[in-house]
Amino acid sequence: MNKYLSECGIASRRKSEELILQGRVSVNGYPVIDLATQIDPDKDIVQLDGEKIKSAKKLYFLLHKPKGVITSTMDEKNRKTVVDLINTREKIFPVGRLDYNTTGVLLLTNDGEFTNFITHPRNKIPREYYATLNKPLEEDDKNQLLKAIYLDGKKGKFNELTFTSTSNHKHVRVVTVEGRNHFVKNMFSALGYFVSKLERKSFGPFDVKDIPAGAYRPLTEKEIKSFYKKYA
């Protein structure tokens, strides 16, 4: 059931599970709370909060997220969200999140299966970041970040960590397959560094080299197929 909801663009598979367990989903008029419920999309009527769910065309957008924008579908403080930057009437949601002042690659879609695949740790999709630190990164700390740091009892590491300037070791390039919230900032913070600027340069094969900040472009079916071919 949660897979069907995510395929219809309602939400990611995990969020769809929450909707089902909250009793907000019904099949043929009867509430369903069993995640294993099987349905036939051609025969069964599936509703969310009493409204019929319709299969949606899969949409994928590659946004160059600017500073000062919330990575969410809405904001209780009425601040601008990344969804506000995309010109579409379809219900879409961001893939993962970037902090308010973090910039760079952000994907938005209505495809919950795609979201689940690209963000799941087992698929090891690389994220590349450029970070500016409050002080030069020491070589011992650099090695430690490549080896292992424990955050909230869970081990994490950078797959790659290099300096982007030979003369100023406050500027670094990071590659990680981790998708935990604030992961890059928290890794540096664990060793006494503060990240004053952070930009995501790429997420898997997707980058925004030719997209100005605040602008976006749709991803093609060919690009999505190529992505799955490379990482699936």
Active site amino acids? 99
140 alpha carbon, distance to own chain's centre = 31
Question: What's the rounded Cα separation, in Å, for the pair 121 and 149?
Answer: 17
d(CA 61, CA 104): 13
CA distance 93 to 12: 9
Q: Please tell me the distance from the alpha carbon of residue 102 to that of residue 165, in angstroms, as a whole number.
A: 20
For residue 83, give both structure tokens: 């969804």
> Does the CA dihedral 118-121-125-128 come out positive or negative?
positive
Element at 202 (helix H, strand E): strand 195-203
From the CB of residue 115, how many other CB atoms can be counted at a distance below 10 Å? 23
**CB within 8 Å of 138: residues ≥ 6 apart:** none
CA distance linking residue 97 with residue 213, whole number of Å: 16
Amino acid at 37: T
Nearest to 140 by CA among 197, 193, 195, 180: 193
